[in-house]
Chains A and B, each alone.
Chain A
């Protein structure tokens, strides 16, 4: 045996940083959760090995420099997010983490099939509950869950929706269970946001790890804007070859305004506010510097309630009076359709596997998290007895508002929530606390494990498509399981491998 070779091998082994022991992974906690980089043996997973090796060889100062470049880039582009409920509703840079999260190609392909199946079924569900209500008559989903939902819009009954595609843009939150399988945490079928961060993260991560990015052959996502545009165009195919499309934003005070402007630019469509549009004789028009133009498709980023003060909230100053009339008459396409929120209600969520079986006659490809519907007395008492271990969520809320993370809440918070739960059980569901998977993040001058989820964006119209990528949201507080950007979470790039 050649002693020099043996010495080299030994050096490599001893230089191999172990999570929890050696720099830069000294503070890396491998907990109960599935880790995206390390296996249970503490060794890097095969798909993560190149990233791992890079991190072991780069000086920390260099990582810091790259992280700062990232942040500066976000600041210059104005990629910000408003946090509500904060004392001073502040606009913050959405924290971005330098290190990409890597998803092996085979895992992604399986996930993609599951997501497509899900959105097709949810669209069938929406068509049904706004028309014949067969699934309700057959008792598969309780009628009061649908008709009693505050997101069920009676104005949408019998309204024909182009291509029967109600949800055109869906952001589904996926988490990994302790055993490493992907499960759906929630569907966002109303006005899902965050896709601009997916794209912005890609820009910075690609630059920060140029060679690594090339070496991995990461699947591209940069065409998302064009895919979205094609999806929106196809919705108007029935009546317009070259439809005029606009993106309707609530305005500059909306937390996702940056994204609205970004997407409008990516697609080359007008960014408009409610006051820029008006309805005359059931047709929607846009005021432009070049005069008044007819609008065919509205990609709206305004909630249902606010979109038309004549039809919905009368006090809304953001919307377009008469829009619902033009929509009902089939003179304009609104994407997503109105009333889609009834299908992403957290109580309906627990029925999605049944919904998939009912409409598609297939077994669900993606699992959901075990869910206790507090409307059922047995489930309610289980929830009340186990508040310290469960996550409890209000069924109609999103963005991490109105929820209790039992294990992390104080006794006082739990008691306050117990009272809410008792007084209005129908409004809540409970789920076991899942240790979301962890991924390496660059924090405090080292690489630490932080909990992450995954939000891919699915487009649905004439067909169903998604770019191979997602927003990976990060709970930046050590040990925290709440990743919502409205709750101070950050994000990072997601690399889907070939």
Chain B
């Protein structure tokens, strides 16, 4: 599948602000079953984009607007291809538990096995697990499938009941929430069972008539868990599905706060309003923005240049 993604974030301030500094986790990944074909960031006011790759391999863009401004708009457009993948196994061998307990797995996945930030175990979570009689099954895959369904069944998808960075107890008490809450809850349980699990920030091409609960005009979040024999498998507890061709991965982290789509600070005594528009539309083929390009002045030959990280290259191509 080819997708065309447009994601606009607009901040409005009720008084002029200055020295806005912002970072973005918005560039879809280009690995596994997913290929990033084109990516462009536009800001208003205009700013020079900088980029780096963080320690988890995510592309991070950042920029600053030094002068006074009352509005800041960040618009990204991306073209992504997602290949269909063979479905993960229904279950795996119960020996998978031993594999997960091995020191190699433990060492390689240190960060994804421990509570961190918004993924802290709590009394309310223990009560929830007791109430649902949710315990480890014979194998990790079966356990995770059950967990995915249980969260889906137990919670109602309601926006504005929780914040993107609410502790899991808020959703647990209300039995309401959105994708971030469900992902965080699933992470705590999976990690508690000794399964490496990571937060995934991204987009979902929603099919409301297909039973999706996610809001179509928003970013999405789900999790990936390491299942021996199957690799990292994506689970989407918001929609009770495994992540597949409709899930577009942008960033992975320990929790939401590791990879918020946008985070910024500014100076000035102002209140701010945030508006977001997200559209994910299927496309026949990637838009080839460079079709018309014709090289009129070839690059002069140069001595060896240090290899730039792919993100930098990407950014320079796009600007």
Contacts and interface: CB of A to CB of B under 8 A. Distances in A.
Contacts of A281: 48, 50, 64
A242 interface: no
Interface stretch (A91-99, A141-149, A168-176, A252-260): A141-149
Contacts of A158: 55
A278 B55 contact: no
Nearest to B258: A154
A457 to B, nearest CB: 32
Given A147-B111, A322-B21, A155 B52 contact: no
Contact of A157 (B55, B64, B264): B55
A329 B50 contact: yes
Contact of B21 (A147, A279, A328): A279
A311 B17 CA distance: 20
Interface in B41-75: 48, 50, 52, 54-55, 62, 64, 66
Contacts of B23: 310, 325
Contacts of B265: 309-310, 314, 321
Interface string A400-440: 00000000000000000000000000000000000000000
B83 interface: no
B247 interface: no
Contacts, number: 47
B296 interface: no
Interface string A308-329: 0110001000000110010011
A137 B104 CA distance: 10
Interface string B263-285: 11100000000000000000000
Contacts of B264: 310
Contacts of A143: 107, 110
A280 interface: yes
A157 B55 CA distance: 6
Max chain B C-beta neighbours (<10 A), residue from A148, A321, A328: A321
A137 B106 CA distance: 12
Interface string B125-158: 0000000000000000000000000000000000
Q: How large is the interface on A (under 10, 10 to 19, 20 to 34, 35 or more residues)?
A: 20 to 34
A155 B55 contact: yes
A137 B52 CA distance: 27
A322 B54 CA distance: 15
B114 interface: yes
Contact of B110 (A147, A155, A282, A314): A147
B110 A144 contact: yes
Nearest to B47: A281
B93 interface: no
A280 B66 contact: yes
Nearest to A275: B267
Contacts of A144: 110
A462 B263 CA distance: 37
B60 to A, nearest CB: 9
B102 to A, nearest CB: 14
Given A280-B66, A321-B21, A321-B265, A329 B114 contact: no
A357 B52 CA distance: 35
Nearest to B65: A280
A282 B111 contact: no
A279 B110 contact: no
B163 interface: no
Contacts of A279: 21, 64
B19 interface: yes
A148 B21 CA distance: 29
Most buried by B among A309, A310, A328: A310
A322 B107 CA distance: 31
A391 B191 CA distance: 35
Most A Cβ at <10 Å: residue of B21, B55, B111: B21
A144 to B, nearest CB: 7
A309 B23 CA distance: 12
A329 B52 contact: yes
Contacts of B263: 310, 314
B266 to A, nearest CB: 8
Given A137-B107, A147-B110, A322 B52 contact: no
A278 B66 contact: yes
Contacts of A155: 54-55
A282 B19 CA distance: 13
Given A137-B107, A143-B107, A282-B50, 19 more contacts: A147-B110, A147-B111, A148-B114, A157-B55, A158-B55, A279-B21, A280-B64, A281-B48, A281-B50, A310-B62, A310-B263, A314-B265, A321-B64, A321-B265, A322-B64, A325-B23, A325-B50, A325-B52, A329-B52
Q: Give me the 6 closest cross-chain CB pairs, A-B, nearest first.
A: A157-B55, A321-B21, A322-B21, A321-B265, A147-B110, A281-B48
14 contacts: A137-B107, A155-B54, A278-B19, A281-B48, A281-B50, A310-B62, A310-B263, A314-B263, A314-B265, A321-B19, A322-B62, A322-B64, A325-B23, A329-B52
